[in-house]
Structure 1
C-alpha cells in the first residue's frame, strides 16, 4: 500500500491522483495544458459520504440524529474523505483503484472505492460506498475546479437543466423547484436524464461532463475557476432525498469527461 501520487497517461493526456490528499485528481493535462486549478484544496476531489452542505451538520439516520463537524459553519460540507489519506489498491497503465475506510466521526463502518480510468480522449471517475454493517444514508459526487482560462478566452458553461433548486439565504435548497436562472451560480440543478454539461474554452478545448446521476451543482463565483459537480443527490440530501447504502445495495456513481480540441 502506498500514498504516493499516481500518474496515468494515454496519448497526450495525463492525470495525476493524490491518495494522500483526499484521493483528489490533482492534475489533468491535455497536450501539456493543465485543466484543473492547482493547489492543496483544488484539483478534483471526491465528495463522500455526502455532497454539499448538511444543514447545521445534522442528519437523520434511522431513529438517530447524527452530528457531523461544522467544517463550514453553520453547516457541514462535502464530506470528509477529501481530507483523509486513501490507500492505493492497484494501478495499471491506464487505471488506478483507491480505497478509504469510513471512520469517526461517521457512525457506520464502511469502505469507499474510487476508480480512475484514462483514455486518449476521456477520464472516467467511479465511486462506490459499501457498508460493513447496518444500512446508512450517503451521497457521492465530485468537485472539480476547472481553470476558467487556459490562456485564451474564458470558459463558457452550457447545459439545459430541467429545473433549478431554489437557494435559500443559508445556501441550502428551500425545497422549491424553479426555472433555471442565468449565472453566476452556486446552485443545484436537476437533470433527470443524467448530467450533461459542456465547458468550452473558445478556440482551444471542449470538455463534456456526463453522469447518469440526475443532480449537478455549478459554481462559478470565483475568478480563477468554475466547478461542475455531478452528484447522487442535492445539498442537504441526507435529510431531503436519503439514498441508503445497504449490505446488498452499495451506492455507486460515475462521471466521464470527454474532450476534443477546437
Structure 2
C-alpha cells in the first residue's frame, strides 16, 4: 500500500499479489471524503441559523469535502500502519482536526477517519471514495450487496427524499444499509474483496468503464442539510471500514 500525504492522504496504490487494485492517477486511488461526502446542494449548508457557502467544485454543487485537496501531516508510519492528520480551515468555516489511520495485514486493510472540533460544534460527514479497477486482466468485476433501500436521485444528482426499492445499475446512487455496509467485488478467477463498515450508507458509482466505486460513508449526499450529524467537544465523529480479500 502507498499513501500520498501531499495529495489528500489518499491510498494511491494497493498491490495484492503484484496486481494493482486501484485506478491510477492523481484524482483516483482512494481518497477520504471529509468534512462532507458527496454533493451539497448549491454548496450551501446551515449550522443553526448560520448559512455557509462552500466553493462549487462540481457546479452547481460542492462535492466530496476538502480533505482530498489538502496536504496531510504524517504522525506515524511503519511497515504496516500509518496515522495522518490535517487541521480544518478555509474554505471550511470551522476549526478542527481530522485524523486518518491505516492498518495493513496480509488479507485486509483497516481504515478509520475521525473529526474533532477545536471550538464550535458543526455538522460533518466522513467516508472513503475508492476507485477499484473494473478489470484486472480477466473478466470485469461484479458487485454483490443487499441494501434495504435506494435514495431516489433527482435530475440534480441529489436525493429527492424518497426511499425506493433498489434499481439495477449503472449507478451513481446512495443506498441504505441500516445494519452496516457489506459489499463484495469479485473479479472471477482472480480476487474477491469485501468492504464492511458500521456506516449505514454506501454510494456506488460505476458509470465509468474503468472503475467501480463502493463508498462507505457516515451520511447520505446532501447530508449536512437533510441528515446533519454534529461534531461537538464531547462527541467527535468517527468511522471505520475494512477491506478484506481472498485470492480465487
Q: Given the alignment of the two structures, is residue 100 of structure 1 paired with residue 86 of structure 2, yes or no?
A: yes
Structure-2 residue corresponding to 1:7: none
Pairing of 1:165-184 with structure 2 (within 5 A): 165-184=151-170
Residue 121 (structure 1) shift: 0.3
Q: 1:110 aligns with which of 82, 93, 96?
A: 96
Deviations 1:7-59 (A, max 9, x none): xxxxxxxx110010000000000010000000000000000000000000000
Structure-2 residue corresponding to 1:70: 56
Pairing of 1:5-154 with structure 2 (within 5 A): 15-154=1-140
Structure-2 residue corresponding to 1:201: 187
Q: TM-score, normalization: structure 2?
A: 0.99
Rounded Cα–Cα distance in structure 1 between residues aligned with 2:94 and 2:153: 30
Rounded Cα–Cα distance in structure 2 between residues aligned with 1:106 and 1:224: 32
Structure-2 residue corresponding to 1:163: 149
Residue 197 (structure 1) shift: 0.3
Q: 2:226 aligns with which of 240, 244, 248?
A: 240
Structure-1 residue corresponding to 2:196: 210
Quick check: 2:66–2:92 contact (8 Å CA) kept in 1? no
Q: Given the alignment of the two structures, is residue 252 of structure 1 paired with residue 238 of structure 2, yes or no?
A: yes
Stretches (4+) displaced over 3 A: none
Q: What is the SS of the residue equivalent to 2:156?
A: coil
Give ranges in structure 2 of 5+ residues lacking alignment.
none
Give ranges in structure 1 of 5+ residues lacking alignment.
1-14
Rounded Cα–Cα distance in structure 2 between residues aligned with 1:62 and 1:140: 20
Q: TM-score, normalization: structure 1?
A: 0.94
Structure-2 residue corresponding to 1:9: none
Deviations 1:165-188 (A, max 9, x none): 000000000010000000000000
